[in-house]
Amino acid sequence: MKAMVYRGPYKVRVEEKPDPRIEHPNDAIVRVELAAICGSDLHLYHGMIPDTRIGHTFGHEFIGRVEAVGSSVQTLKPGDRVMVPFNIFCGTCFFCARGLYSNCHNVNANATALGGIYGYSHTAGGFDGGQAEMVRVPFADVGPTIIPEWLSDDDALMLTDAFATGYFGAQLGDISEGDTVVVFGAGPVGLAAARSSWLMGAGRVIVIDHLDYRLAKAREFAFAETHNFAHHDDVVVLLKKLTGHLGADVAIDAVGAEADGNLTQHITSAKLKLQGGSPIALNWAIDGVRKGGNISVMGAYGPLFSAVKFGDALNKGLTLRMNQAPVKRQWPRLFEHIRAGLISPGDMITHRIPLDAIAEGYHMFSSKLDDCIKPVIVPGA
């Protein structure tokens, strides 16, 4: 089969790989119909995630049709159209029993630190991802769900990570009626977090980014007030002025490891790899919320330490909550929001790229070209 393969930082290409096979009676093989490139895939592409091995296939957002199932699989059969959450989880361990699917203890040799994720290096279990014609799906009775007839492919794909993660970010913000919510980052997760904040009672939603085309999308998709931090000397002072000098009630970091806005942080993380990512957006969140405020972290960071202003968070009495989103736990409520016409996650998609052109897709997305917000890979194109 054809699959995207990693060949080193900034180097990906399509190669022929052996077809995936059933390795366990609970496995399924899914023929991929749509896959997405996630902003967190760029951390892999840029060489920032440890133990990203040559030949690995990325891709943790995908939908497709079941090609084959193992002898123990009960809920799926060949031909079923399925959406697959980016988390790989067993459904039975201590953490899965509590709905913490992203913290599953049985799918990663590094399970004390991280659960399993498709296509996200050997740090996350070493599972090949869905930017390919086919992919092996472990625990097929647990993770994948048959896509309802009424749900579009685009909406289903965006629920496998991006929109579900943004929704989870708003949940972790513990938004109260009328709260002012500031979202750092207008990529797909930030857009979803901003849109979801309204569903949870926000009275005002502010989105901060430095790319005007993404801020325009935040106004259109998430009905948010937007500000370009590059146009201001100090984004924290800006936020204080916008909020009566108290600060926002809730901040959501939807940027993560590769945040722009501070040269020193950028060099020590992206260039020198001395920390697990630039936490400038998180530090802005800490300084930009009011005392006693809430911070939700959805941006991805590497396993190394990061220079976070923890003392400021302590002295302000902030509540910080974070996790990889337990995607499948969000689906029942998101299905209802889609059926009610309250959200349309597929509207975040801006580009469709054949699998053979995936190198160009990564370059376009990484370099912020052609107003790209969410690129989707179409293996059959």
The per-residue pLDDT for 275 is 66
DSSP code at position 324: -
The per-residue pLDDT for 248 is 98
For the chain, the distance separating the N- and C-terminal CA atoms, rounded to the nearest angstrom, is: 14
- Separation of alpha carbons 136 and 66, rounded Å: 10
Nearest CA to 351 out of 61, 35, 118, 31 is that of 35
- Mean pLDDT per 10-residue section of the chain, whose length is 381 residues: 98 98 98 97 92 97 98 98 98 96 94 92 96 98 98 98 98 98 97 98 97 98 97 96 97 83 70 72 96 94 80 97 96 98 98 98 96 96 79
The per-residue pLDDT for 108 is 93
Q: How many CB atoms lie within 10 A of CB 193?
A: 34
Give me the amino acid identity at 59. Answer: G
Handedness of CA 8, 9, 15, 20 (dihedral sign): positive
The helix-helix angle for 212-222 and 188-199 (nearest 10°) equals 30
The per-residue pLDDT for 277 is 67
The per-residue pLDDT for 368 is 94
- Separation of alpha carbons 46 and 78, rounded Å: 36
Nearest CA to 83 out of 162, 192, 4, 5 is that of 162
0.75 exceeded by the pTM?
A: yes
The per-residue pLDDT for 333 is 97
Question: What domains can you pick out in the chain, each with its CATH number?
Answer: 2-161+326-378 (3.90.180.10), 166-322 (3.40.50.720)
Dihedral angle at the C-alpha atoms of 95, 98, 101, 102, nearest 10 degrees?
-60
Give me the amino acid identity at 67. Answer: E
The per-residue pLDDT for 112 is 87
- What is the DSSP pairing of strand 248-253 with strand 289-297? parallel
